[in-house]
Amino acid sequence: MESIAGLAPRARARLAGVFEALEGFPAAFGQVTVIAMLAASGDAATTAHNILANEGLYRLGFAIPLAAVGLHIVWTLLIYQLFLPVNRTLALVASSANREVVRIGRADENDVIFIANPVRLLRDDHQRDFTG
């Protein structure tokens, strides 16, 4: 990050804006577009079939937003560097708030129980656990 530290404040602010804008694309694409391709509104059986038939796509829908977490971290570091010469407290507050956003997002996206279990439960070899 030393090469970024040498940037002028305006260039650093623009770079932070680019990372902030880029952050939204993988998050929205993975959580909305990819998952929506598998979901059949009002038809749980079709949704289950789609998830089983496209297990890789289902997992990709949760993995793509992890790229957004990386972009958010870079954006946070740039904002910290941008605000540091102005006010150290402001820089720390901004980076702390962004760190919490990343923590909340990570907890939501990385919860393996909610990502892996639907696929495991929908497979034939686990259906007998519920039918006896």
Q: CB within 8 A of 74, min separation 6: which ones?
A: 19
Tokens of 72: 């958010």
pLDDT at position 107, please? 54
Confidence at residue 117, expressed as pLDDT on a 0 to 100 scale: 62
Question: What is the block-wise mean pLDDT of the chain (132 residues), using blocks of 10 residues?
Answer: 70 87 83 84 84 86 81 85 86 78 59 59 58 47
pTM greater than 0.75 (yes/no): no
Listed by start position, the domains of the chain span: 9-131
Note the pLDDT of residue 131.
47
CA atoms of 106 and 101, how far apart (whole Å): 8
* Tokens 């990343």, residue located: 102
- How far apart, in Å, do the first and last CA atoms of the chain sit? 58
pLDDT at 130: 46
Helices and strands (DSSP H and E) totals, the chain: 8, 0
pLDDT digits (tens, 9 = 90+) for 31-44: 788 888 888 888 88
Joined tokens for residue 93:
């507050």
